[in-house]
Amino acid sequence: MVQYNFKKITMVPSGKDFVDIILSRTQRQTPTVVHKGYAISRLRQFYMRKVKYTQQNFYEKLSAIIDEFPRLDDIHPFYGDLLHVLYNKDHYKLALGQINTARNLISKISKDYIRLLKYGDSLYRCKTLKVAALGRMCTVVKKISPSLAYLEQIRQHMARLPSIDPNTRTILICGYPNVGKSSFINKITRADVDVQPYAFTTKSLFVGHTDYKYLRYQVIDTPGILDRPLEERNIIEMCSITALAHLRAAVLFFLDVSGSCGYSIAQQAALFHSIKSLFLNKPLLVVCNKIDLQPLESLSEEDRKLVMEMKDEASKTLNGGDDPELANGVLLSMSTLTEDGVIAVKNAACERLLNQRVEMKLKSKKINDCLNRFHVAMPKPRDGKERPPSIPQAVLEAKAAQANVEREKRKLEKDLENENGGAGVYSASLKKNYILPNDEWKEDLMPEIFEGHNVTDFVDPDILQRLQELEREEGLRMEGENEENDEMDEERELSLEEREALAEIRKKKSLLIQEHRIKKSTAESRSVIPRKFNKDKAFTSERMGRDLSRLGLDPSAAINRARSRSVSQRGRKRERSLAIEDEGEGMDIDQPNKKLRMRSRSRSQSRGPPGELVPGEGFKDSAQKTKAVKLAKKAAKKRNKDARRGEADRVILNMKPKHLFSGKRSIGKTDRR
């Protein structure tokens, strides 16, 4: 299991946010109401509680920061050196030390001011001491703001570090930049490391996981290393050196035999010899990559000699230089592009690492504690007779019956695929499960395009139903034609004048239909003529006379009635205007005509008393109207009281808003708010 999970470290707030968080919590969690009439002991207790609570919150927050960040002396040396390479051990320890100092200072300030508050003689003195105590605590926190910001940056970076377990089975890949390390880890694990054709694409450690013999292996891809002194190496290279120095792992040293990485075999061999001290007591394999570009056999004599020297050194690191079997498997070749030899390299590394771990466990002292738990029983021979292992007949019969069942079992697609060349060669037929009236039709080829038309446009599963509908429609059409023929027969029986009238009616009907269709189609885009400018459709007595004459009625009586009504209205208007003029004699001459008009209009629109019955209102008499008005007023009274606009309005004013009638409980009684 992974022991170090830096993603769980809590976020470190900035100095200002830290102060805001603590003071806000103090304000929310402690009483806020105090009066000068309280006893002095109660006043002291009130402010002492504030100071103690603030100090306690500061202490808890700062302690959480100190405890959650790892101590470099207590964690695994790999992580200790890695953090030193990335963040500088001295700066890291100084920042945590300042946090610890601030925590102790805040505790001391709280202790001093609580001692002073015990002797506070007034509300003002106690409050002043409380303000001073909180102010000094906040000043201490603000002074360590740079350390808090530095630790927050470290926390964010540590959360992005891969979760590496230093004690599990590990395969470490190292070598010059751009020799194919990231391509290899992408092939054997599900890691997705960026691969580019230039150096130092990988700038940090990447982790993937693979399985071998039902065991999980951790594969680490390291950044490229250059052949130069240790003090000249940068942070990226030092990550690889740290991993090689501290992790017990099988090391794969990648060698680009083609030289396409930009470094010759001699340079790569020099790097191997400069860091070979880091490979001691670790299974080491020299992997010649990119053999698709340059096979190992076609190397020059010089380069081949360098490769053989590296092979001899690698066999020595396994503590088995004299064993030819171990020495033979040290040099492997592969190509990540064609995947030739990739799995063989992975299996060889896993096997060697497993053997080494088993040997180490056998050599350890723990094996002596475990040996007494194991007992292997070996029977002693009682005579010279041989007793070979025998299988009972019943077991053989059961095995044969099982084989027959498997033979008779329905062949699966997987079996057919294995029989016919495997994946990529065998193509399963999707047509063999078609449900058709005739099985011979299953493999028939159906054209997609025929004579320039898409065949699927003409394939209709409901063709028979559509055919029946067409026949039904054809029958209805035939019946209509028969009816038309009957009408034509009836027309033949008409006289010449009747036929002409009938033709005129049909022509007019078709014209009306056509006109209606035109109006309908252009209704949206047609402009509407205002009524006062539309002379053809003006509501005049002449138009009324034309319309009545067209209907065959005598319009004279209606026209005379309309004219007489218009004359009487003009007379009334004349009387009203005279009356206004009479009233105007007593008014001020400067009064504008608009006011006169408004006043006369309001008088003309005034109605009688509310109980008076007006025709068309729907009431039987004045008493019924008065009763209805009273009921309406009574119904509206409650609604008006609740400040509602209408019957559908659900607004009910909150007469006791909670934020005004509830608050924090003060020190003392808690039986009422």
Share of the chain above pLDDT 70, in %: 84
Q: What is the pLDDT of residue 569?
A: 61
Domains of the chain in sequence order: 6-157 (1.20.120.1190), 163-365 (3.40.50.300)
Statement: residue 217 has pLDDT above 90: yes
Residues 6+ apart with CB under 8 A from 272: 253, 255, 286, 310, 313
Mean pLDDT of 90-118: 94
pLDDT, tens digit, for every residue of 399-417? 888 888 777 776 778 888 8
Sheet with 250-256, side-by-side order of all strands: 206-212, 215-221, 170-175, 250-256, 284-289, 331-333
Q: In angstroms, what CA-CA distances link 648 with 181, 458, 630, 653?
A: 75, 59, 21, 15
| pLDDT at 672 (0 to 100) | 53
Q: How far apart are CA 275 and CA 226, in angstroms?
A: 10
pLDDT given for residue 16 in this prediction:
92
What are the backbone dihedrals phi and psi of residue 283, each rounded to the nearest 5 degrees, phi first? -65, 125
What are the counts of helices (DSSP H) followed by strands (DSSP E) for the chain?
A: 22, 8
For 180-211, the pLDDT digits (tens) are 889 999 989 988 888 887 778 888 889 999 99
- CA–CA distance, 318 with 327 (Å, rounded to integer): 9
- Cβ neighbours for 209, distance < 8 A, ≥ 6 positions apart: 189, 190, 216, 217, 218, 219
CA distance 578 to 571: 11
Q: Is the pLDDT of residue 575 over 70?
A: no
pLDDT at position 251 is 92
Give per-residue pLDDT as tens, 406-449: 777 767 788 888 888 888 788 888 888 888 888 888 888 777 88
Is residue 585 pLDDT above 80, yes or no? no
pLDDT at res. 14:
92
pLDDT band for position 136 (cuts 50, 70, 90)? very high
- Taking CA atoms, 454 is separated from 431, 442, 445, 447, in Å, by 21, 21, 15, 9
Q: How confident is residue 586, by pLDDT bands cut at 50, 70 and 90? A: very low
- Place 670 in a pLDDT band, splitting at 50, 70 and 90: low
d(CA 226, CA 267): 9
pLDDT in tens, 19-63: 999 999 999 999 989 988 899 999 999 999 999 999 999 999 999
The values of phi and psi at residue 169, to 5°, are -65, 120
User: What's the CA gap between 559 and 564, in Å, rounded?
Assistant: 9
Cα–Cα dist 233/594, whole Å: 98
Asked whether the beta carbons of 152 and 11 are under 8 A apart, the reply is: yes
- Candidates 199, 175, 171; CA nearest to 265 is 175
pLDDT of residue 339 exceeding 70:
yes
Task: List pLDDT tens digits, range 294-309.
Answer: 888 888 888 888 888 8
The pLDDT, as a whole number, for residue 391 is 87
The three-state secondary structure class of 134 is: helix
Tell whether the model's pLDDT for residue 624 goes beyond 50: yes
Q: What is the spatial distance between Cα 598 and Cα 592, in angstroms, rounded to a whole number?
A: 11
* Segment among 128-137, 227-236, 370-379 with least mean pLDDT: 370-379
User: Does 490 have pLDDT greater than 50?
Assistant: yes
What pLDDT does 605 receive?
Answer: 46
CB-based contact 202:193 (threshold 8 Å): yes
Give start and end residues of each alpha helix (H) in 118-180. Answer: 123-143, 145-159
Strand blocks (E) in 213-363: 215-221, 250-256, 284-289, 331-333
Return all residues near 521 (Cβ < 8 A) that are at least 6 apart: none
Condensed to tens digits (0 to 9), the pLDDT of residues 246-298 reads 898 999 999 988 888 888 889 889 999 888 888 888 899 999 998 888 888 88
Burial class (CB in 10 A: 0-12, 13-18, 19+), 260: middle
Can you tell me the mean pLDDT for 317-346? 74
Burial class (CB in 10 A: 0-12, 13-18, 19+), 92: buried
Per-residue pLDDT at 220: 93
> What span, in angstroms and rounded, lies between the C-alpha atoms of 50 and 35?
16
Over residues 542-546, the mean pLDDT reads 82
Residue 330 above 90 pLDDT? no
Which residue from 124, 129, 110, 117 is spatially nearest to 56, judged by alpha carbons?
110
Asked if residue 116 has pLDDT above 60, the reply is yes
- pTM value is 0.52
Residue type, 264: S
Which residues are within 8 A (CB) of 309 and not within 5 positions of it... i.e. 6 or more apart?
A: 269
Q: How many residues does the chain have?
A: 673
User: Which tokens sit at 389?
Assistant: 């292992």
Single out the residue of 322, 353, 346, 319 nearest to residue 332, CA to CA. 346
Distance of CA 41 to the CA centre of its chain: 57
* Distance from C-alpha of 341 to C-alpha of 349, rounded to nearest angstrom: 12
- Rounded Cα gap, residues 401 and 407, in angstroms: 10
Note the pLDDT of residue 543.
Answer: 80
Sequence letter at residue 243:
A
Share of the chain above pLDDT 90, in %: 25
Residue range 526-539: average pLDDT? 67
Q: Tell me what pLDDT residue 479 has.
A: 85
Identity of the residue numbered 27: Q
Using an 8 Å Cβ cutoff, are 277 and 377 in contact? Answer: no
